[in-house]
Structure 1
Amino acid sequence: MRRTLTLLGTGVAAALALTACGGSESTPNATPDLANPVTVTVGAGPVPHARILEFIDQNLAPEAGIDLEIQEMTDYQTPNIALNDGSIDANYFQHLAFLEQQMTDKGYEFEHGEGVHIEPYAGFSSQHESIEDIPDGATIAITNDPANQPRALKMLETAGLLSGIEEDSAALTLTEEQNPKGLKFEENQPEILLPLIEDPEVDLAIINGNFILEAGMSTDEALVVESTENNPYANFLVWRAGEETPAIAKLEELLHTPEVKSYIEETWPSGDVFPAF
């Protein structure tokens, strides 16, 4: 079952809205059984995460003795808030760098599975036709998320716009050596960067893969796309520490089946979503 939650905020109101929905009707502590499926409630981004889970729920979960309650969440804070307060059993939307940043900043105690897929970052522009056209002093719209910003900066380095980017580099504190073209960075929450592609004052907007997909766009339209080779930003299943129950372990297993890999490759043949296993 899929339940859509349009939550753009990250404060108490969002947490209360999720708490009102409640978690799973049956806990995932029991051993999965075909006659009595165990419900696992998972918070997930709408695309591709919820679609992948929906495929599992319809095609693989019944024979595995689990029933997925999928709650779509449209921002990057609510899924961890909900997991921490017990409103959901697991979430599926984030990569390791983001998870580690969240656990450090918020004190969450979570564990995670193996990588399932990668959604490449990409840079889009309505002002220029190629990355080589980006002028000195150009304005770049970039995420304000410290776990993802270095990822975007590394993509720009690969494209030849920046140099010497480190794991902890930040857009607003780049040196002249790192930013020889004098690019100007405009930080924003990742979920509101998409409209900036059409802003005449913005030369390039760097967009997270899931928001590219939600907008019905493709990386084929981008000026620059992150490589998936040796990419450390695979998304995975996350649960509360010490709670890898039989049902959650079964879902983790199903996420890495040949059927799921084939579904990802067939649904996103252009590589907008790339299997990580």
Structure 2
Amino acid sequence: MAGGDRVMSRSMLEVEGNRIEITHPDKMLWPAPGIRKADYLQKLVELAPYLIRYCSGRRLTAIRFPNGVGGKSFYQKNAPEPTPEFVDIAEAGGVRYIDLNSVSTLLWLGNLGVLEFHPSFDKIEDGMPGEWVLDIDPSEETRPRLMEAGSLIGEALDGMGIAAVPKTSGATGIQIVTPLAKPYTFGQLRSLGAFLGHYLSDKYPRLFTVERSIRARRGRIYIDYVQHAAGKSLSAPYTPRGRAEATVSTPLTWDEVRGEADPQAFTLHAIGERLQRMGDLLAAAEPQNLDAVLEFTAKRAEA
């Protein structure tokens, strides 16, 4: 798939030896930045190494926007029918999940109007998490407070000897991702998240909360450590989002967080140049051994 003309001039693409039908290539998916389906498929080719890296071996929840971001959208866990033979399926709980592990599968989904890719936290292979994730959810869309919160979480993690990577959700929040050097259970990571969440909400009660009820948050920023669980999913690094600006969930440096980076600046139009310039910040992060901090928090819980 060398260029846009190939998408525009043919109804079929050949990728990895597979034939994929492309329908309505001129359909406008993101009107504001002027991204048509043909443009989007080209962007997916650029993002394929990264999306496959973070989605393969996980159960995919896709969010489809058949008529673009101005139309209706819906979540899809079951693989759409008819499912091509090249699409790998992972069944769980009666659901035929897609394992997004090839460019062919990615482009097939893109043609169906899948604009968001949300992999499961648990791996298909062993049901274990491959990383620890804290989801930071603002009750109000106020960037300075959100980035202040992210910076304080980063400082707290650093004080615990944990090197993590922040990323924009592509929507209103940010997520703090810690790659793992060895297997840990979801229960262990949830206890660590609870410790950190309560510590920060006690230290900065006007900024943070661990209250799940939106009403009870009273404008404070929610540290969601409960969502990191088997069967749950989160926006993948480098997934586009179905928002007017065509934002992309993007790993950041801590300097960018401290500088109050604007999540709306990380878009489909901009992500290619950023990756060429900075590389994949998450892939470059050193996996963390959490044994010592888990032992410490367990002793604190017993005290």
- Global fold match (TM > 0.5): no
TM-score (norm 2): 0.28
TM norm structure 1: 0.30
Which protein has greater RCO, CA pairs closer than 8 Å, 6+ apart? Answer: 1
